[in-house]
Chain A
């Protein structure tokens, strides 16, 4: 009897194991299409980029192994270093300024304009986020041109003296590209932060006010800490937009004048598809990807800890 029971148990266990194995197989079949697509069109090229970066190759002839020479060039060529410095400068315009301004705008919308004006402001401010970046580049290319709106407005307030072709001037081209970034990203950050503010318990503010807290201490003690996660998201999204900037710069300046607005994305494109220096372009691409990871990981850590 016990023998019979034991054999019944084992057979049940094998059946169960078979079912489980089938389950696992089916589960993997569910993942397979997405995984295959991702491996073939993202991970494979990613590995190839790293591989290319160790070669000299013009895209047609034979490739020669050069070890780390391309990385040496990226880190020593002054033009290429300039592109990396430029992209860090863009982080200030694309990330710090929009996020800081957005905190103000979001608290304004949150405090005084929850009704119709707030709704309209949200929609309008969000507008630049949905149009293609290329269009933003073209529009601002015209606004910042010599006869464009910006100079016209400056003249109207008596400042025609500083008027110029903003995107064509060595000193102002990069900040001018930065202004385009602010225009595109400010609304997105504001709406995102304002949504975060609606989740803060109003009782917190009330008790702070009973304690006699002013606007600023309220902001520092309640608003900022509660929005840590949302601010982290804004910083992440905008920093990637700055470091990996391409569309706006390509359309508005093409990296010029000289290398004044050249960023890694533009330089990768020119090196790979105009000058056919595939190895060097790939090394720069690898450096860009590492830079993004290096900047993003601490932001993520900071905004997620203590949760």
Chain B
């Protein structure tokens, strides 16, 4: 393809400008975080006396160790369960074609566009009845359910394209349905399962509304939920708020940069299929 020189320059310039717009906010909060706690610095200004201690202070007042533990617990409780049950359902709907598979698929797809706000009110009262309000289970249990439309749809899309000869061959050898599923199809489904796990981990980590409504104690919340509470407490202390925000962002950023190819691919495929 031929591209003229001026087009090349203009295009590159556009990309650089856009990247600057994305990065500049992060630089701004980083510099702000280095100013003395309680002051009101301007947007982009190198502090006379960088206060690295702000990060230590934010680490302590935000209970970072507890938060990391809490968020990790929630992710570990949600993702494996959601992956296993949605893979089983996707297998039954996409490959076994159980009677009523179309209806089941429709039922799950119906939930794809459902905003969380639509069910948050009854969830609160249901969980109060179940006695799990204000515990991590209050986030874990409904989140698994809310992931089902996407997860089942995603896994079904994989299984529906698998050749049925594989299953039939195993059947002739006398394998049970469970063997066919566990020994043959789960190993073959590793790539979509990995993407699904990445997606659900990111979504869980960033989940805010459920955490805000269903769990009062920030220490029992997801990272995003805790950040909301942190903002509520330190809204007036901008440098400390910025330092806390950076700390809370850091795990996500590190994971993203380490697995950027997989994360981007997963998020893209996720939305294309959904």
Contact = CB atoms under 8 A, between A and B. Distances in A.
Interface in B37-88: 40-44, 85-86, 88
A214 to B, nearest CB: 12
A138 B146 CA distance: 26
Chain B: interface secondary structure?
Answer: helix
Contacts of B256: 127, 130
Interface string A121-151: 1111111111111110011101100011111
Measured as residues with beta carbon below 8 angstroms from the partner, the interface class of chain A is 35 or more
Interface string A244-275: 10110011000000000000110011001100
A195 to B, nearest CB: 6
B236 to A, nearest CB: 12
Contacts of A237: 271
Interface string B170-201: 00000001100100000000000000000000
Interface in B178-233: 178, 181, 202, 205-206, 208-209, 212-213, 223-225, 227-228, 231
B28 to A, nearest CB: 5
A147 B40 contact: yes
A124 B22 contact: yes
A85 interface: no
Residue of B12, B18, B86 contacting most chain A CB atoms (<10 Å):
B18
A157 interface: no
Contacts of A147: 40-43
A273 B124 CA distance: 10
Interface of B: 1, 3, 7-8, 11-12, 14-15, 18-19, 21-26, 28-29, 32, 40-44, 85-86, 88-89, 91-93, 96, 98-99, 104, 107-108, 111, 113-126, 141-142, 144-146, 148-149, 151-152, 177-178, 181, 202, 205-206, 208-209, 212-213, 223-225, 227-228, 231, 238, 241-242, 245, 248-249, 252-253, 256-257, 260, 263-264, 267-268, 271-272
B123 A138 contact: no
Contacts of B122: 44-46, 48-49, 52, 282
Given A112-B12, A187-B22, A45 B231 contact: no
Contacts of B257: 123
A151 B43 CA distance: 8
